[in-house]
């Protein structure tokens, strides 16, 4: 709010929207009074980033007395649109890919697998503990930022590094990996999974569970890998460990994917949607 001219809505101080296009980002209707006190929007747009139909209903249903136009939905993945079975424009969650640079090859460190997430238990799948143990037993390094929920489940190991959420910025942490691995608990599905796309922006081969918004952008075996079971994940990781050339090729394709997804032309087309 200090960096950009963002103000709190306040009818008392006349800090209120004054007509035009109203865009609500990840918010929903809470029966506030201020909408009745401001100019009617010409367009009403909701950027909706969850899988909760009840929240979407709160977001899109308007009081008749308000007289606002019907809400236009902007979703952040085709996967989300298919799961919710709703109509809407799909705009991937914006990422400044210039922050992320492909890692330099030629290091002599052990094969390193890792991931990045929030420090919550539901961001980790129960079966991944055994997978990490197998990697460590094979001499690999496992680095997990947002790994505090695993401290009591993984025995200390010289090549295991569990870091708290936010220890390093994503653009500093991700290039320390050879492969980015990602799966959440069975109760959590990523609407988009921006950290996966950030890893791809770093030129990393990503190995991800095949259920999440990021699947729209991963072509298995070309710019990343998708798996259903732990056994499949283990085979993919073993192949990547044995073949540095494969890692480099897939990582290069991954970077090209995000460059196309967030190209100046693509970003301009999304911006034009709001300006029309």
DSSP letters spanning 165-202: TTSS-HHHHGGG-SEEEE---TT--BSS-HHHHHHHHT
Distance CA 126, CA 196 (A): 20
Residue 109 has a pLDDT of: 83
User: Which sequence spans correspond to the domains of the chain?
Assistant: 11-96, 99-257
Average pLDDT of the segment spanning 169-183: 97
Q: What confidence tens digit (pLDDT) does each residue in 124-133 have?
A: 999 999 999 9
9 pLDDT tier (thresholds 50, 70, 90): confident
Average pLDDT of the segment spanning 226-233: 97
Average pLDDT of the segment spanning 143-150: 97
Distance CA 132, CA 140 (A): 9
C-alpha torsion 107→108→111→117, nearest 10? -40
- What value does the mean pLDDT of the chain take? 92
The residue among 132 and 67 whose pLDDT is bigger is 132
CATH 1.10.3720.10 fits 99-257, yes or no: no
Q: What confidence tens digit (pLDDT) does each residue in 239-251 have?
A: 999 999 999 999 9
Residue 234 has a pLDDT of: 98
Distance CA 275, CA 20 (A): 10
The residue among 62 and 56 whose pLDDT is bigger is 56
Distance CA 121, CA 148 (A): 8
H helix intervals, 85-169 = 128-137
Residue 106 has a pLDDT of: 58
Is 56:159 a contact under the CB 8 Å cutoff? Answer: no
Asked whether residue 174 carries a pLDDT value surpassing 90, the answer given is yes
Asked whether residue 166 carries a pLDDT value surpassing 80, the answer given is yes
Is 114:163 a contact under the CB 8 Å cutoff? Answer: no
Q: Whole-model pTM? A: 0.91
Q: Which two tokens stand for residue 60?
A: 């899109």
Residue 82 has a pLDDT of: 92
Q: How far from the centroid of its chain's Cα atoms is residue 193's Cα?
A: 2
Residue 33 has a pLDDT of: 82
The residue among 235 and 67 whose pLDDT is bigger is 235
Average pLDDT of the segment spanning 16-36: 82
35 pLDDT tier (thresholds 50, 70, 90): confident
- Furthest-apart CA pair in the chain: how many Å? 67
Strands (E), the chain: 21-25, 43-48, 71-75, 89-90, 112-116, 141-145, 160-163, 179-182, 206-209, 225-227
Average pLDDT of the segment spanning 200-220: 96
Which DSSP category does 226 fall into? E
Residue 63 has a pLDDT of: 67
């Amino acid at each position: 709010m200090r960096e950009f001219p963002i103000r709190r809505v306040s009818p008392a101080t006349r800090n209120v929207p004054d007509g035009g296009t109203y865009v609500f980002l990840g918010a929903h209707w809470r029966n506030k009074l201020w909408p009745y006190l401001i100019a009617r929007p010409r367009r009403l747009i909701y950027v909706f980033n969850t899988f909760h139909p009840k929240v979407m209903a709160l977001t899109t249903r308007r009081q008749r007395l308000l007289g606002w136009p019907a809400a236009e939905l902007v979703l952040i993945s085709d996967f989300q649109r298919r799961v919710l079975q709703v109509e809407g424009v799909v705009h991937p969650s914006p990422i400044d890919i210039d922050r992320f640079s492909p890692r330099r090859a030629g290091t002599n460190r052990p094969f390193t697998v890792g991931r990045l997430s929030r420090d919550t238990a539901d961001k980790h799948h129960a079966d991944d503990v055994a997978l990490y143990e197998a990697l460590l037993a094979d001499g690999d390094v496992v680095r997990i930022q947002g790994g505090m929920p695993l401290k009591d489940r993984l025995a200390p190991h010289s090549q295991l590094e569990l870091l708290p959420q936010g220890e390093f910025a994503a653009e500093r942490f991700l290039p320390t990996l050879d492969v980015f691995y990602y799966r959440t608990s069975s109760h959590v599905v990523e609407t988009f999974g921006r950290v996966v796309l950030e890893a791809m922006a770093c030129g990393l081969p990503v190995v991800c569970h095949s259920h999440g918004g990021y699947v729209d952008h991963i072509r298995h075996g070309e710019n990343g890998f998708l798996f259903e079971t732990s056994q499949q994940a283990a085979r993919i990781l073993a192949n990547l460990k044995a073949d540095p050339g494969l890692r480099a090729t897939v990582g290069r394709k991954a970077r090209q994917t995000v460059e196309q997804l967030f190209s100046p032309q693509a970003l301009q087309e999304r911006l034009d949607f709001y300006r029309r």
